[in-house]
């Protein structure tokens, strides 16, 4: 199946909330919130809730 580069970019740039990050990583919400509070996991608070780019979560999991 051939994939479209535009679709791949949209998936890469996707925003996740805390519950989606928890489901994606298999980690608890508390662990994710701890990582945000300690500054290890990058987060956007513009909308008033924590939003994460998928690539930020992947970098955090890889230890970068």
In a domain, 9, yes or no: no
Secondary structure class of 63 (helix, strand, coil) = coil
**What CA–CA distance (Å, rounded) separates 52 from 20?**
9
pTM for this predicted structure: 0.75
In angstroms, rounded to a whole number, what is the distance separating the alpha carbons of residues 35 and 56?
12
Query: What does the pLDDT look like over 21-50, one tens digit per residue?
Result: 999 999 999 999 999 999 999 999 888 889
What range defines the domain where residue 33 resides? 15-62
Note whether residue 8 is domain-resident: no
* Neighbouring C-beta atoms of residue 33, cutoff 10 Å: 15
- pLDDT per position as a tens digit, 46-64: 888 899 999 999 999 999 8
Residue 35 lies inside a defined structural domain of this protein:
yes
Please check whether residue 57 is in contact with residue 13, taking contact to mean a CB–CB distance below 8 angstroms. Answer: no
């Amino acid at each position: 199946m051939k994939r479209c580069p535009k679709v791949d970019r949209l998936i890469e740039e996707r925003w996740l909330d805390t519950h989606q990050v928890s489901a994606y990583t298999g980690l608890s919400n508390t662990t994710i919130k701890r990582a945000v509070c300690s500054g290890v996991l990058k987060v956007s608070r513009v909308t008033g809730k924590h939003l994460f780019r998928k690539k930020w979560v992947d970098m955090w999991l890889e230890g970068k």
